[in-house]
Structure 1
Amino acid sequence: MATMKSVTTGAQNHIDLVDVERPVPGPKDVLMKIRACGICGTDTFFLHLGGMPAGADGSMRSIPLGHEPAGEIVEVGAEVTELKVGDRVVVNPQGVPSGIIGCGGEHGGMSEYLLLEDAEIGKTVAVFPDTVPYDVASLNEPMAVARHCVNRSEAKPTDKVVVFGAGPIGLGATIWLKLRGVEHVVVADVIPERLETALAVGADAVINSATEDVTARLTELHGQAANALGQPRAGTDIYIDAAGVAAVFNATVDAAKWGARLVMVAVQKKGADIDLGGMLRSELTLIASQGYPTEIFEVTPELVEHHERFAKLISHRVPFLDAERAFELAMTPGAAEKVVVTFE
């Protein structure tokens, strides 16, 4: 029996690097050799839990991790005609029948090999050229999340936008907004190094929300407007929450003009008391953005075209056999922007 190494959830806040049976593709499947896999906040969420709930008794089960893989096809089932050995591919984690890859499904992308059942271009995988490094290609899935958020915002070129949170999703949204032709995009965060990255990928201005008055700075950058009562507010049209903290809602309600929109893409880490009266006075529209209903492979051609720009989102590249350090970096607040695990 051929085996491979795979990362699974271990004890709470720890991974296990285990030997498991190497999958064998069926007639409609392909086997992918992983070359790079990003670490997502969802991975660290499962680690904080110690796995995934297994039943009503509160017990947890270990799960394979990794849903941001890029790699090379090494085996092809007899009935697969669109794909061939050697194709470089990115994956739709939600496109296989055995459950979401790396999020409770049978397989995880943080493994030496990944079985892709019912492999089909445009549904399960997309092929990318060898001009794009594998580590940058592994950003395809999180950049689809960021793209859906921007699509949900319906931002127009004349809009003025602020993105809260300069992590991978916030920075990805910034890139997509600028590629969409949006006139002015501001990024707010509390970590200076992340704000430097925001400027490097195309933000027009940044705000250190730990030291600056957000409303005053947005008014300076986007002009002055008013809410429904005529009270002075910033001229910002769209607020994007890619941070997942209550302070973003508070800052938005404090600054929002009449008819502004708030797009929530980050998972809220704690419940927040929201000033509903303030939302009413601005007729603030709250828009939720979840996943990537159509965007998972829509983003691939532009990721390929602008791969050098997207590469700036990666702060750490860590070898697979040092995966424990990679996850420690990802779980330490402020230690890393985007961690990608690389494979030989």
Structure 2
Amino acid sequence: MATMKSVKTGDRNHIAVVDVERPVPGPKDVLMKVRACGICGTDTFFLHIGGMPAGADGSMRSIPLGHEPAGEIVEVGAEVTDLKVGDRVVVNPQGVPSGIIGCGGEHGALSEYLLLEDAEIGRTVTLFPDTVPFDVAALNEPMAVARHCVNRSEAKPADKVVVFGAGPIGLGATIWLKLRGVEHVVVADVIPERLETALAVGADAVINSAEEDVTARLTELHGQAANALGQPRAGTDIYIDAAGVAAVVNTTIDSAKWGAKLVMVAVQKKGADIDLGGMLRSELTLIASQGYPTEIFEVTPELVEHHERFAQLISHRIPFTEAEHAFELALTPGAAEKVVVTFDA
């Protein structure tokens, strides 16, 4: 029996690197050698809780991790006609029948090999050229999340936008907004290094929200408008929450002009007080953005075209042999922007 190494949840806040059976593709499947896989906040969430709930008794089961892979096909089932050995592919983690890859399904992409069931270009995988490094191609899934957020915002070129949170999703949204031709995009965060990255990928201005008055700075940058009661507010049209803290929502409510939008793409922390009544004063529209209903492969051509720009989102490239260190970085607040685990050829 051929085996491979795979990362699973271990004790709380720890991974386990285990030997498991190497998958064998069926007639409609392909086997991908994973060459790079990003670490997502979802992965660290599963580590924080110790896996996935297994039953009503509160017990947890260990699950394989990783849902942001890029790699190359090494085996092809007899009935697969549009893929061949050597093809470089990115994956739709939600496009397999055995459950979402790396989020409780049977397979995780932080493994040396990944089985892709019922493989089909445009549904399960899509191709990318050898001009794009595997680590950058592995950004395809999170950039689809960011793209859906921007699509949900319906931002137009004349709009003025602020993105809260300069992590991968916030910075990805910033890039998509600028590629969409949006006139002015501001990024707010509390970590100076992340704000530097925001400027490098195309933000027009940044705000250190730990040191600056956000509303005053937005008014300076986007002009002055008013809410439904005629009270002075910033001229910002769209607020994007890629941070997931109540302070962002309340800052938006305090700053929002009449008819502004708030797009929420980050997972919100529970138990925080939010001034919902304040939304009335601006008729603020709250828009939720979840996943990538259509965007998973729509983003790939532009990711390929602008891959050097997207590459700036990666702060750490860590070899699979040092997977524990990669997760230590990902679990430590402020230690890394985007960690991508790389595999030998």
Say yes or no: TM over 0.5: yes
User: Structure 1 residue 277: deviation in Å?
Assistant: 2.2
CA distance in structure 1 between the partners assigned to 2:11 and 2:61 by the alignment:
10
Query: How far apart are residue 73 of structure 1 and its match?
Result: 0.2
Quote how far apart the aligned CAs of 1:269 are: 2.1
Query: By how many angstroms is 1:274 displaced?
Result: 1.7
In the TM superposition, what whole-angstrom CA distance separates every residue of 1:66-91 from its partner, at most 9, and x where no partner exists?
Answer: 00000000000000000000000000
1:159-179 Cα shifts (integer Å, max 9, x gaps): 000000000000000000000
* Partner deviation per Cα, 1:183-206 (whole Å, 9 max, x = no partner): 000000000000000000000000
- Following superposition, the deviation at residue 272 of structure 1 comes to 2.3
Deviation at 1:341, TM superposition (A): 0.2
For residue 14 of structure 1, report the CA deviation from its aligned partner: 0.2
For 2:269 and 2:119, the matched residues in 1 are separated by 35
Aligned-pair CA distance for 1:278: 1.3
Distance 1:94 1:276 in 2: 34
Corresponding residue number in structure 2 for 1:324:
324
Aligned partner of residue 312 in structure 2, secondary structure: helix
Does the CA contact (< 8 Å) of 1:190 and 1:210 recur in 2?
Answer: yes
Runs of 4 or more, structure 1, over 4 Å off, are none
Residue 276 (structure 1) shift: 2.0
Looking at structure 1, the residues matched to 52 and 196 of structure 2 have their Cα atoms a distance apart, in angstroms, of 36
Is residue 2:134 matched to residue 1:134? yes
User: 1:275: how far off?
Assistant: 1.3
Q: Distance in 1 between matches of 2:204 and 2:65?
A: 36
CA distance in 2, matches of 1:88, 1:94: 19
CA contact (8 A) 1:246 1:271 kept: no
Which structure 2 residues correspond to residues 106-185 of structure 1 after superposition, within 5 A?
Answer: 106-185=106-185
Unmatched segments (≥5 aa) in structure 2:
none
Once the two structures are superposed, residues 48-68 of structure 1 have per-residue CA deviations (whole angstroms, 9 ceiling, x without a partner) of 010000001000000000000
The secondary structure found in structure 2 opposite 1:95 is: coil
Task: Name the CA distance, whole Å, in 2 between partners of 1:254 and 1:143.
Answer: 29
Q: Is the 8 A contact 1:246 1:270 kept in 2?
A: no
Secondary structure at the counterpart of residue 321 of structure 2: helix
Query: Partners in 2 of 1:27 and 1:15 — Cα distance?
Result: 33
Provide the rounded CA distance (Å) in 2 between the counterparts of 1:336 and 1:6: 23
**SS in structure 2 of the partner of residue 115 of structure 1:** strand
How far apart in 2 are the matches of 1:274 and 1:200? 33
- For normalisation by structure 2, the TM-score amounts to 0.99
**2:12 maps to which residue?**
12
**Residue 241 of structure 2 corresponds to which residue in structure 1?**
241
* Contact 1:91–1:125, Cα closer than 8 Å, also in 2: yes
Counterpart-to-counterpart distance in 2, 1:32 and 1:57: 37
Query: 1: CA distance between counterparts of 2:194 and 2:276?
Result: 31
2-structure distance, mates of 1:274, 1:19 = 46
Q: Which deviations, in whole Å up to 9, do the C-alpha atoms of 1:219-260 show, x marking residues without a partner?
A: 000000000000000000000000000100111001000000
Per-residue deviation at 1:318? 0.3
C-alpha contact (below 8 Å) 1:245/1:270 kept by paired residues: no
SS at match of 1:313: coil
Deviations 1:269-293 (A, max 9, x none): 2332221221001000000000000
Alpha-carbon contact 1:318-1:342 (below 8 Å) kept: yes
Q: How far apart, CA to CA, are the structure 1 residues paired with 2:270 and 2:54?
A: 24
Q: Could you tell me how far apart the structure 1 residues matched to 2:338 and 2:82 are?
A: 32
Counterpart Cα distance in 1 of 2:270 and 2:338: 23
Partner Cα distance (1:129, 1:150) in 2 = 26
- Indicate conservation of the 8 Å contact 1:189/1:209, yes or no: yes
Q: Could you state the TM-score of these two structures normalised by the residue count of structure 1?
A: 1.00
Q: For the residues of structure 2 that align with 1:273 and 1:116, how far apart are their CA atoms? A: 43
Aligned length: 344
**CA-to-partner distance for each residue in 1:19-55, whole Å, 9 max, x for gaps?**
0000000000000000000000000000001000000
Query: What is the aligned-residue RMSD (CA, Å)?
Result: 0.4
For 2:238 and 2:82, locate their aligned partners in 1 and report how far apart those are by CA, in whole Å: 41
